[in-house]
Chains A and B, each alone.
Chain A
């Protein structure tokens, strides 16, 4: 493959990954999956029944791995010569659609199941909450799965990058990866940024304050759509950039260089990012403190 073509493919994969990361984070924010889910789950128990979608399919990494592996598996069947030799784009679109349907089923059962298991805390199962959010969840899951299965296909195809792993396994790994990045990068902005701005920097969060996340939005009781609106301003895009950079830098170093040089470049990228992150952290602590050193005698 020509170098220009190779770099073009890498750029395309990075772009697809950026979109996938953004939609993955927004999907998990609408459904309050992963990190915010603990607070939504606790809310009813600390006296705050709510109308927020409680989507506990598992952590984000396994559930996104599931959508992507299923999408790729279905696409692989449709593309195989013994079935219908479908064009890759159509096959991936249908695979992503099946994955979105699974997202709908698993989301429904977790919303209904979790709320029915909290009846004693006065937590209701609101069917309008289910109906209102489920299509946006499935829509975002479709975009995520489509982009990730597409970039996995580009990696797997022998004429393009030609990765030795099978197609669904590559999709499974990238699904795990986007879930992990969405969980660690994006979810922070759901709760920490918005709800706890009046807390002292570095003060930590008392468990009794957890339920606050389900209370008020700009107008009235907060709904899951408010969370998506808020998170689409920063949390979603920053997740997309993080995942897009992961995919782009990883493929760029192995496309532009070869052998041990690409390993050295990868190590250099990791070291640079660690130093950069440390700089940002110390800058933020100094700028937004006070952040007293722990002396061992502060009551929790």
Chain B
């Protein structure tokens, strides 16, 4: 694993701040007559995806090979419970705007407890376990809240449960969100993995989730707002995917070939 180009603190700060700001702008603007801004919640979720992917990268470089997919599913498992609790809590106390923050706080707490259990009780003894699982849970809740707000165009629990959960659009969001967190590191697993390549891949996976979520929001909030999200998602995907291919070329060096036999000495 190479030296990181961005520290964990920087990535976490960006993930949480941009994640929450995006969710709040979209959640306030969309019901107030500007559904076209719903895509901003998706942008917030992209940064949260990157935060989760970096946490997966750090914790899984301790040799958790086949556990990478499991940890991504764990993230969204913790995330969906906390996200729905937060939004429902906001509804219960008649203050929907505290929903995402309550959800985030609960997810961070669940993540810390799960990390402590893994380290102290199951004795995995990975030094970054508590911190990384806390980050992963936080990323999970921001991804789910972000994409749910983006599809429904509202932070109200009743609207989200009617437009995202009852219709079932939560299923693609859940699984694409999980793959966005687990796939970047899983697809780059190996001793020559580099942080910038993994993280640009995280943006690319998040953009796929945003594109599909945007398509679903055509049915939920309207054609124009949905298409804006879809097109923005596709544009981000194209740019980040090409960036990923460029970094693959850089990292593979002379091994990036059109065709050819096995390298000398391989037989």
**Could you list which residues of chain A lie within 8 angstroms of chain B, going by C-beta atoms?**
38, 41, 47-51, 56-59, 62-63, 65-66, 69-70, 72-74, 76-77, 80, 82-83, 98, 102, 105-106, 109-110, 112-128, 165-172, 221
Contact = CB atoms under 8 A, between A and B. Distances in A.
14 contacts: A51-B262, A57-B183, A58-B69, A58-B186, A65-B175, A82-B219, A102-B212, A116-B197, A116-B252, A117-B188, A125-B257, A126-B260, A166-B171, A168-B171
Given A58-B72, A58-B186, A105 B215 contact: no
Contacts of A50: 262
A115 B252 contact: yes
Interface of B: 65-66, 68-69, 72-73, 165-172, 174-176, 178-179, 182-183, 186-193, 197, 201, 204, 208, 212, 215-216, 218-219, 223, 241, 244-245, 248, 251-253, 255-260, 262-263, 265-266
Contact of B172 (A62, A73, A114, A119): A73
A73 B216 contact: yes
Q: Say whether chain A's binding surface is mostly helix, strand, loop, or mixed.
A: helix
B173 to A, nearest CB: 8
Given A113-B197, A166-B168, A70 B190 contact: no
A109 B257 contact: no
Nearest to B190: A117
Contacts of B167: 76, 166, 168
Q: Say whether chain B's binding surface is mostly helix, strand, loop, or mixed.
A: helix
A117 B168 contact: no
Contacts of A126: 257-260
Contacts of B251: 116-117, 119
B263 A168 contact: no
Contacts of A168: 167-172
Nearest to A171: B171
A124 B265 CA distance: 13
A74 B179 contact: no
Given A62-B73, A122-B266, 13 more contacts: A41-B189, A56-B187, A70-B172, A73-B212, A110-B183, A113-B188, A116-B252, A118-B192, A119-B192, A124-B255, A126-B259, A127-B259, A169-B171
B232 to A, nearest CB: 17
B262 A221 contact: yes
**Closest 10 pairs between A and B when the two form their complex, measured CB to CB:** A166-B168, A117-B190, A58-B69, A168-B168, A168-B171, A128-B259, A110-B187, A113-B187, A73-B172, A124-B255
B216 A57 contact: no
A108 B42 CA distance: 24
A117 B61 CA distance: 13
A77 B219 contact: yes
A38 B187 contact: no
B17 to A, nearest CB: 28
Contacts of A69: 171-172, 174-176
Contacts of B178: 62
Contact of B179 (A58, A72, A127, A170): A58
A167 B169 CA distance: 9
B203 to A, nearest CB: 12
Given A49-B263, A73-B216, A113-B188, A119 B176 contact: no
A57 B179 contact: yes
Contacts of A127: 256-259
Nearest to A170: B168
A59 B69 contact: yes
A248 to B, nearest CB: 24
B183 A76 contact: no
A132 to B, nearest CB: 10
B69 A62 contact: yes
B197 to A, nearest CB: 7
A125 B256 contact: yes
Given A110-B186, A116-B251, A49 B169 contact: no
Contact of A83 (B168, B171, B208, B219): B219
Contact of B257 (A73, A76, A122, A124): A124
Given A113-B201, A116-B252, A66 B262 contact: no
A141 to B, nearest CB: 14
A122 B262 CA distance: 9
A126 B178 CA distance: 29
Given A62-B175, A77-B218, A116-B248, A122 B263 contact: yes
A58 B171 contact: no
A18 B65 CA distance: 32
Contacts of B169: 73, 76, 168
| A65, A70, A115, A127 interface centre (most CB from chain B within 10 Å) | A70
Given A76-B167, A119-B253, A128-B258, A112 B245 contact: yes
B52 to A, nearest CB: 14
B171 A120 contact: no
